Structure 1
């Protein structure tokens, strides 16, 4: 039986105003696989991802996840804090108190893994949206994260950059043995994953083969 890297069991969550967002929501992502989380706006996708990352606390239920965890926001400007590419990736390593040569090695390896090593000295403000998302992913790789949680990382990108980024994450999962859960509503992105979950009104209502789910949504799209 495959080892489970990400598990949420019977997760309930509501905002302080009382609005119920998730209701007995459960999912499992096998280690070393790339899964996607689908659903319409307001279905609870981003909230579920933040619960799994520990950024929010469930009202009830259990989260079990392999650490360290890397979280990639929809808008990379919300997490890139240093002036240059290399400095931003290195910033995430401060807590480990590594020697300088080891930090440099980790940064270069991470940037090479997402094909932006040549941008190491580039100012963050001079990057495209797709390049910024790669920097955010490189930060997680440098920290040697076991799990990547990505919250609609292609939402602000042009169509070519969208598919380029999802293919890059697929390659990282397969070449490095990472586990990834990617939130999306773009059906074409399902061509790159091992499986998918369909979230509707705060609960996982279907899961499994991505192409089957894709056909289900093409034939009867949600309202």
Structure 2
């Protein structure tokens, strides 16, 4: 069994022949760690996550991930579809054909993991942006996802809530053995990561420990 939960080798993708997005892109994310994916707008970060999630099909190359896999969008309103917190998390469990008590247990277990059990019956529209992102993460926890993909999940949050969310994901990764790949533009979020990948023009041009990146920036 590989030590990596996410493996990408020579991945290529473009919207057409004239606009390649990913070119011979390769990276491996160690199992049970939180890694950040950095890079300028248009370098292929979000496209890479969508390829991993199966929302897009690569032109060539190889990619494998542990399953199940969860995806957290930049805007949680694009993925929370049911009227209440509990109903939304339960909706993601439909394919598992669980009985009612099993569903209730999974929902409450997931809400406890993200510290929102008291909001079980709360309407989705009444939640803050940070609470909505936690519910999106809880949906992945309820499905016992082994890999969590997060596409700039703090982009629409205030600074305090941004840090609260990254600390929560770091805690879930360590306590539950989840593997997370997190797209960000915020260098301060790197303080909570095990490693980083820097993407440029569709290729990984640098990777390593966050401390190494910070050191290079100050040289």
Q: Does 1:95 align with 2:84?
A: no
TM-score, normalization: structure 1? 0.95
Instruction: Provide the rounded CA distance (Å) in 2 between the counterparts of 1:4 and 1:209.
Output: 16
Partner of 2:195: 195
Instruction: Provide the rounded CA distance (Å) in 1 between the counterparts of 2:213 and 2:71.
Output: 25
Instruction: Provide the rounded CA distance (Å) in 1 between the counterparts of 2:55 and 2:18.
Output: 19
Instruction: Provide the rounded CA distance (Å) in 2 between the counterparts of 1:28 and 1:53.
Output: 15
| Number of residue-to-residue matches in the alignment | 219
What SS class does the counterpart of residue 81 from structure 1 fall into? coil
Moved over 3 A (4+): none
Partner of 2:48: 48
Q: Does 1:119 align with 2:144?
A: no
What SS class does the counterpart of residue 15 from structure 1 fall into? strand
Partner of 1:59: 59
Partner of 2:4: 4
Instruction: Provide the rounded CA distance (Å) in 1 between the counterparts of 2:186 and 2:215.
Output: 13
Instruction: Provide the rounded CA distance (Å) in 1 between the counterparts of 2:14 and 2:159.
Output: 34
Partner of 2:183: 183
Q: Any unmatched runs of 5+ in structure 1?
A: none
Instruction: Provide the rounded CA distance (Å) in 1 between the counterparts of 2:16 and 2:126.
Output: 39
Instruction: Provide the rounded CA distance (Å) in 1 between the counterparts of 2:117 and 2:17.
Output: 46
Instruction: Provide the rounded CA distance (Å) in 2 between the counterparts of 1:100 and 1:81.
Output: 20
CA apart distance, 1:214: 3.1
Partner of 1:39: 39
Q: Any unmatched runs of 5+ in structure 2?
A: none
Instruction: Provide the rounded CA distance (Å) in 1 between the counterparts of 2:168 and 2:79.
Output: 20
TM-score, normalization: structure 2? 0.97
On the 8 A contact 1:190/1:214 being kept in 2, the answer is: no
Partner of 1:160: 160
CA apart distance, 1:213: 1.6
Structure 1 residues 16-45: Cα deviation after superposition (integer angstroms, max 9, x where no partner): 373111100000001111111001111111
Structure 1 residues 37-93: Cα deviation after superposition (integer angstroms, max 9, x where no partner): 001111111001111111111111011100000000001011000000010000000
Q: Does 1:16 align with 2:16?
A: yes
Instruction: Provide the rounded CA distance (Å) in 2 between the counterparts of 1:214 and 1:59.
Output: 34
Instruction: Provide the rounded CA distance (Å) in 2 between the counterparts of 1:99 and 1:219.
Output: 56
Which range moved further: 14-23 or 27-36?
14-23
CA apart distance, 1:215: 3.6
> Could you say what the CA RMSD is over the residues aligned between the two structures, in angstroms?
1.3
Instruction: Provide the rounded CA distance (Å) in 2 between the counterparts of 1:15 and 1:2.
Output: 31
